[in-house]
């Protein structure tokens, strides 16, 4: 019996010695993986720099569509995301950003690690280098002690994440369609709005969070939402651009002085309608096609005027960028009228939209404006 006790104590001491040995090993690691992705550098960089996209790629084990996420700011320096998955918890925070790199701190089970992303333009493609640095966990040290290559495991995880990023960007973010639908009468409505400034690259994405804030405001104040949210751009060809993120409501409202949410009214106007199905990085293509159409048909309008961008299907409704739907309305034969314009302008009637067809041999009846954003047709 004493022999069994001595053997047990010996094994216990041996286990403690091994545990102490494993715990005292440095366990530091640095692993780098790289991949060339067939997408522009701005697309890849902006995608990685926004934590709202991370559930589409599993760069860190456990960050996928099965996880539950909590966000702070989601873009740029100071952005933060927490997640839980099967009882495991983690936190990632962006420490610094430059034009071509992102540096992040990852904490999982009190173990701190760091990710460094570097992006290099390679003629319409992007070379992505991802480096992970940190300390191995006790379990990883123990596995290394018996011969399992933990560096290889980390490298496999990084390469898997880059492959997921490549697959997603190529299949989802590069799938888009721009369609010039022609001349329409854009309907009008009352709205609540929040003013902002920005550049074309980030306006649409920033608008999504502002839209959710406006929806919360409308719900809390028992307002009826009457249509799709939209951006109302101010006339400018300079940067940054001034714009308002708007939400259509049933009745006109007045907000208290100093409120960052204002009330307004959009009046019906004649417009050239262009639609985009796909991610917002292709808004420039919408602008290009609208410009070409305007020049071809010599329409009295400009893409730098006061125009409307309407969100039909957004990231709040589907995570697939290829399914996002946006409509842009460029004013024709006049400006977009809002309740902030002068009283004289507000009282002017909106003229029927011209058909821009060749003159007929005999007098033609007046064009009847059709609302609800449908194309205007000549009466039979």
For the stretch 329-378, pLDDT in tens is 999 876 677 766 533 333 333 333 333 333 333 443 443 333 333 333 33
Q: Locate tokens 């992505």: which residue?
A: 128
Encoded tokens for 372: 């609800």
Average pLDDT for 244-257: 87
Number of CB atoms found within 10 A of residue 209's CB: 17
Residues 262-318 pLDDT 10s: 899 999 988 999 999 998 888 989 989 998 988 887 777 766 668 999 999 988 888
Average pLDDT for 203-222: 89
Encoded tokens for 286: 């919408």
Are the C-beta atoms of residues 366 and 352 closer than 8 Å to each other?
A: yes
Are the C-beta atoms of residues 85 and 102 closer than 8 Å to each other?
A: no
Residues 71-122 pLDDT 10s: 888 888 999 988 887 777 888 899 999 989 999 998 887 788 898 999 999 8
Q: CA 262, CA 15: separation in Å to the nearest integer?
A: 68
pLDDT at 179 over 70: yes
Tell me how many degrees the CA angle 127-133-139 measures, rounded to the nearest 5: 130
Encoded tokens for 352: 């029927």
Residues 180-197 pLDDT 10s: 998 899 998 899 999 988
Number of CB atoms found within 10 A of residue 229's CB: 24
Integer angstrom CA distances of residue 52 from 56, 71, 145, 205, 301: 9, 8, 38, 11, 37
Q: What is the rounded average pLDDT for all residues in the chain?
A: 76
Q: Which residues contact 315 (CB under 8 A, 6 or more apart)?
A: 52, 208, 321, 324
Confidence of residue 127 (pLDDT cuts 50, 70, 90): very high
Q: CA 220, CA 208: separation in Å to the nearest integer?
A: 19
pLDDT at 65 over 80: no
pLDDT at 12 over 70: no
Confidence of residue 203 (pLDDT cuts 50, 70, 90): confident
Least confident of 118-127, 211-220, 241-250, 362-371: 362-371
Top pLDDT among 14 and 104 is at 104
What pLDDT does 5 receive? 58
What pLDDT does 242 receive? 86
Encoded tokens for 349: 């009637």
Top pLDDT among 366 and 66 is at 66
Percentage of the residues of the chain whose pLDDT score is greater than 90: 24
Mark 312-343 as b/e (b = at least 16 C-beta within 10 Å): bebbeeeebbebbbbbbbbbbebebbbeeeee
Confidence of residue 29 (pLDDT cuts 50, 70, 90): confident
Closest among 127, 142, 105, 101 to 18, alpha carbons compared: 142
Q: CA 227, CA 214: separation in Å to the nearest integer?
A: 13
Q: CA 114, CA 131: separation in Å to the nearest integer?
A: 8
Instruction: Give just the sign of the alpha carbon dihedral 285, 287, 289, 295.
Output: negative
Confidence of residue 6 (pLDDT cuts 50, 70, 90): low
Domains and CATH numbers, the chain: 25-173 (3.30.530.20), 178-346 (3.20.80.10)
pLDDT at 17 over 60: no
């Amino acid at each position: 019996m004493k022999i069994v006790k001595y053997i047990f104590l010996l094994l216990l001491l041996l286990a403690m010695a091994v545990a102490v040995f494993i715990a005292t090993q440095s366990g530091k690691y640095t692993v780098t993986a790289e991949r060339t992705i067939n997408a522009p550098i701005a697309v890849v960089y902006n995608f990685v720099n926004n934590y709202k996209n991370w559930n589409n790629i599993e760069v860190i084990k456990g960050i996928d569509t099965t996880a539950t996420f909590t966000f702070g700011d989601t873009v740029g320096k100071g952005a933060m995301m927490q997640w839980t998955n099967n009882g495991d918890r983690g936190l990632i925070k962006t420490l610094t950003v430059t034009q071509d790199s992102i540096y992040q701190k990852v904490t999982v089970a009190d173990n701190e690690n760091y990710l460094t992303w570097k992006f290099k333009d390679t003629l319409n493609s992007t070379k992505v280098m991802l480096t992970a640095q940190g300390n191995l966990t006790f379990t990883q040290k123990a596995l290394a002690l018996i011969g399992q290559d933990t560096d290889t495991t980390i490298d496999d995880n990084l390469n898997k994440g880059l492959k997921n990023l490549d697959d997603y960007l190529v299949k989802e973010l590069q799938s888009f369609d721009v369609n010039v639908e022609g001349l329409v009468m854009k309907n009008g409505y009352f709205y609540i709005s929040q003013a902002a400034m920005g550049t074309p690259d980030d306006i649409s994405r920033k608008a999504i969070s502002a839209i959710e804030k406006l929806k919360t405001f409308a719900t809390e104040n028992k307002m009826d939402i009457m249509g799709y949210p939209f951006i109302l751009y101010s006339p400018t060809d300079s940067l940054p651009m001034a714009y308002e993120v708007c939400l259509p409501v049933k009745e006109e409202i007045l907000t208290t002085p100093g409120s960052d949410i204002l009330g307004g009214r959009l009046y019906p106007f004649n417009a050239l309608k262009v639609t985009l199905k796909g991610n917002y990085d292709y808004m420039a293509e919408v602008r290009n096609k609208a410009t070409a159409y305007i020049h071809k048909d010599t329409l009295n309008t400009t893409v730098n005027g006061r125009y409307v961008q309407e969100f039909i299907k957004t990231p709040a409704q589907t995570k697939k960028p290829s399914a996002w739907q946006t409509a842009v309305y460029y004013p024709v034969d006049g400006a977009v009228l809002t309740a902030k314009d002068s009283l004289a302008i507000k009282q002017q009637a909106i003229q029927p939209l011209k058909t821009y067809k060749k003159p007929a041999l005999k007098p033609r009846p007046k064009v009847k404006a059709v609302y609800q954003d449908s194309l205007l047709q000549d009466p039979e």
